[in-house]
Structure 1
Amino acid sequence: MKTALVLRHLAFEDLGLLQPVLQQAGYTIRYLEAGVDALDAAPLEADLLVILGGPISVYDVEDYPWLTEEIRWIRERLLADRPTLGICLGAQLMARALNAKVYGGGTKEIGWAPLQRGRETEDTAGFDAYLAQTGTVLHWHGDTYDLPSGARHIAASALYENQAFAWGAHCLALQFHPEFDARRLEQWLIGHCMEIAATPNVTPASLRTDTALHASQARAAAEQFFSTWIGSLSNCRCKTAPAQTQHVMQRCARNF
């Protein structure tokens, strides 16, 4: 059995639509609760690491000191090019682990908005097709990040240039929420009620309306993309980067 280790920062921001895709692909899923569970001593062992979202910031290390260990732990996996997927906060943690700056963006991006094609998507499994199919996706963040050295820029939005990047052959960081399951919307509205109330032009009613409009197409596109990307990992058995990416890893490792 293949193993998927899932680092969760907030109970209702779980694997969502990704969970059945992983199960159908033969993965055993195990959650680690951030700040509660000890990180595995060997971060390279799991076949896949998924780093999920949450309302804290990467730079909040004084308030949440365990973030420092998370970042170090993620870095070890990325420099070995072991399959890793980061979503929202998870993408920001990946960026920071690769020595890029993460910071407040100045404008909250909460709600449904289109994605734009990035500068380098052609070699990322299924992502071009996903962008063409999905149309509009759910965004829920106020922080952003600089593109890490050696990363490939694969998506942007009207508000934020860096919406997604690929790293090495097997690592993907997504600022938006393709895993979002519309059947769980009310949990998001309850759990993020204070953030919604503090964000101009965003209300529970508008989020319900837009979710009803966009969620079905976004779900179909996400399920197809997740299946394609997970399938692309099927031949990944090594615990070090493949030869074609080793020079990138070696160059970037000197920055740490």
Structure 2
Amino acid sequence: MRVLVVQNFDNTGLGQVGAALAEAGADLDVRLPYKGDALPRDATGHDAMVVLGGGQNALDDEDYPYFPALLELTRDFAGKDRAVLGICLGGQLVARAFGGENRIGGANEFGWRGVSLTPDAKADPVLSALPETFPIFQWHDDTFELPDDAVRLAGNDVAENQAFRVGRAVYGFQFHFEADRPLVKDWSSSFAPTIAGRHPDWAGELEHEMARNGPDADAAGLAIARAWVATI
């Protein structure tokens, strides 16, 4: 199993998705196109693709000119019935690839927040085993409209579209289910100045929030990761 990982920003990582891929014995091909790495021309050499998050918005083609090629690559993976996973910015790019409208700003969430599954999620192979509501880590300002042929799988009051599926195994997630407590602690350190500027109480709240929400969020995130890997 060879999986293409598209990283879009410094100090982001696979987190629990990486753990699930390691359990499955996956061979990872990590590309950093924002640092000049070339993307594959098509999906032929890979069985699946993961598109990670970042601080940019999904319409920023001027500063990230590889975005259009990434959208085309996403559609090629889908056309070859190969699994795709987009998280946060990655989920917004997956939505854009299939015609969903990106909305910049107006959907600010940071920290562990609750999300609720839709009725369609009860029959979804990735989300059906999860509780109807659960806490999960969020860090975003933007949101998106669903592509016409997408199945809406989760939402909350801030961002109606928190998870969706296109076809058999192309998934977009707004929330950071890959971010378990160790990864959140790493982000809290790596991005401390950025976080402090917008959420000045975060450093003092982190340990309490991890204790209150971390166990349930980590369990939900690992379950999602393992179930998506099973679609490859």
Matches within 5 A, 1:1-256: 2-35=1-34, 36-132=36-132, 135-199=134-198, 203-233=202-232
Bigger CA radius of gyration = 1
Measure how far apart 1:139 and its partner are: 0.5
Structure 1: 5+ residue stretches without partners: 234-256
Aligned-residue sequence identity (percent) comes to 30
Task: Name which of structure 1's ranges 135-144 and 25-34 shifts more when overlaid on structure 2.
Answer: 25-34
- CA distance in 2 between partners of 1:194 and 1:95 (Å): 30
In 1: Cα distance, 2:78 partner to 2:92 partner = 13
Distance 1:150 1:131 in 2: 25
Once the two structures are TM-superposed, the CA of residue 165 in structure 1 deviates from its matched residue by 0.3
Please report how far the alpha carbon of residue 119 of structure 1 lies from its aligned counterpart in structure 2 after TM superposition. 4.7
1:199 is aligned with what amino acid?
R
* Alignment CA distance shift 1:131-1:175 (3 Å): farther
For the residues of structure 1 that align with 2:104 and 2:197, how far apart are their CA atoms? Answer: 15
1:154 match: secondary structure: strand
Q: Which residue of 2 aligns with 1:247?
A: none
Secondary structure in 2 matching 1:111:
strand
Corresponding residue of 1:244: none
Please state how far the C-alpha of 1:16 moved relative to its aligned partner: 0.6
Cα distance between partner residues in 1 of 2:85 and 2:62: 26
Q: Aligned equivalents of 1:198 and 1:115: distance in 2?
A: 26
State the one-letter code of the partner of 1:72. E
Counterpart CA distance in 2 for 1:110 and 1:210 is: 12
* Pairwise CA distance, 1:192: 3.1
Aligned partner letter, 1:109: E
Q: Secondary structure at the match of 1:135?
A: strand
SS at 1:153 equivalent? strand
Residue 201 (structure 1) shift: 7.1
The one-letter amino acid paired with 1:123 is A
Deviations 1:78-136 (A, max 9, x none): 3433210111111001001111111223141111111112252133214032244x720
Alpha-carbon distance between aligned partners in 1 of 2:93 and 2:100, rounded to the nearest angstrom: 9
Query: TM-score under structure 1 normalisation?
Result: 0.82
Q: After TM superposition, what 4+ stretches of structure 1 lie above 4 angstroms from structure 2? A: none
**C-alpha separation in 1, matches of 2:29 and 2:175:** 23
Taking only aligned residues, the RMSD between alpha carbons, in angstroms, comes to 2.0
**Alignment TM-score, normalising by the size of structure 2:** 0.90
1:157-186 Cα shifts (integer Å, max 9, x gaps): 121101010110111111101111311333
In the aligned structure 1, how far is the partner of 2:116 from the partner of 2:231?
23
Once residues 155 and 82 of structure 1 are traced to their aligned partners in structure 2, the CA distance between those partners, rounded to angstroms, is 22
